[in-house]
Amino acid sequence: MRPFRFLTVVGEQHDGPGLAAFARRAESIGYSALVIPDHLVAQYAPVPLLAAAAAATERLRVGTFVFNTNLRHPAVLAQELATLDRLSGGRLEIGFGAGWNKPEHDAIGIPFEPVATRVARLTEAIRVLKGCFADERFTFAGEHYTITDYDAQPKPVQRPHPPIFVGGGGRRLLTLAAREAGIVGLAPRLGRNEQGLPTLDAPSITLAATEEKIGWIREAAGDRFAELELNSYPTGGPMVLTHDARGETRRRADQLRERTGVELTAEEIAESPHVFIGSIRELTRKFVDLRERLGISSFLLDDMETFAPIVEELAGR
């Protein structure tokens, strides 16, 4: 089995010294990587923030969870990422996604295209990114990007390229991840409400749904499945540290029903790879069980300090 890796997220804005202290604390606890999402909301831009975090640390990896392909040309992004990988001494991880938040596309006039088009664009963008990181000049002619005899500079430290993370909840994205990424994120499927805003497809966070997704990944990855790292994160609601896991799980079931209109049992909530409720001991056991049963070894935790004892016990094991 792969050793445990834990990621923590920069969830609020920090000044320079505050960010440096946060990153150093994550490193001292044993977190593998510090990540940041990529949205046009009240947050810092990913690349300069990650560069500052890398400069303040020695071992901590830095990455995105995840870049929105629609916001940047992949060849331009490749130059920034190769620079960041070199400045960090080879500690970059690249999370890449197809974009899911329609309102931020609308706000700046970027068309929010159908999912098939966005996934096709993401597929081409990954190929362009890998081409930019390769040693030789490359040419690419796709539906969304055209590259002609281009020798991108600089090249990243990590060869042939930094680890690429792609996640998803549907078969189309997970198939792409299985074929092109080194880290595959297990995510819920998303629906749309009457206002066009994303909504959680509650059944897709269950253990049974996750087992089905891993089956899709295994089928698409073929012989390289054993090389993949599987990641999960708490999309079923915030992680909760409690000695009343049963009561809190029932409350979470009620919250999900009110939010989505779907009734999941307390047992389905408790065993979900996307819900983490319990004591430090119970949650530690759950991470071990998820790795043993499903092969998931990478987890994004939503509170760096609260769950530090779990990371200190399991990271790298």
Structure tokens at 274: 């996307």
CA–CA dist 174, 228 (Å, integer): 12
pLDDT band for 83, please (50, 70, 90 cuts): very high
pLDDT score recorded for residue 63: 98
Flag the least confident range among 51-60, 155-164, 183-192, 236-245: 183-192
State how far Cα 316 lies from the chain centre: 19
pLDDT score recorded for residue 141: 97
pLDDT at 15 over 70: yes
pLDDT score recorded for residue 137: 96
pLDDT band for 42, please (50, 70, 90 cuts): confident
Q: Express each pLDDT in 288-301 by its tens digit.
A: 999 999 999 999 99
- Mean confidence (pLDDT) of the chain: 95
pLDDT score recorded for residue 257: 92
pLDDT at 158 over 80: yes
CA–CA dist 20, 38 (Å, integer): 20
pLDDT band for 91, please (50, 70, 90 cuts): very high
Helical (H) or strand (E) element with 290:
helix 280-294
pLDDT band for 196, please (50, 70, 90 cuts): low
Contact call for residues 103 and 84 (beta carbons, < 8 A) = no
pLDDT score recorded for residue 194: 66
Give the mean pLDDT of 64-82.
96
Residue at 3: amino acid letter: P
pLDDT at 118 over 80: yes
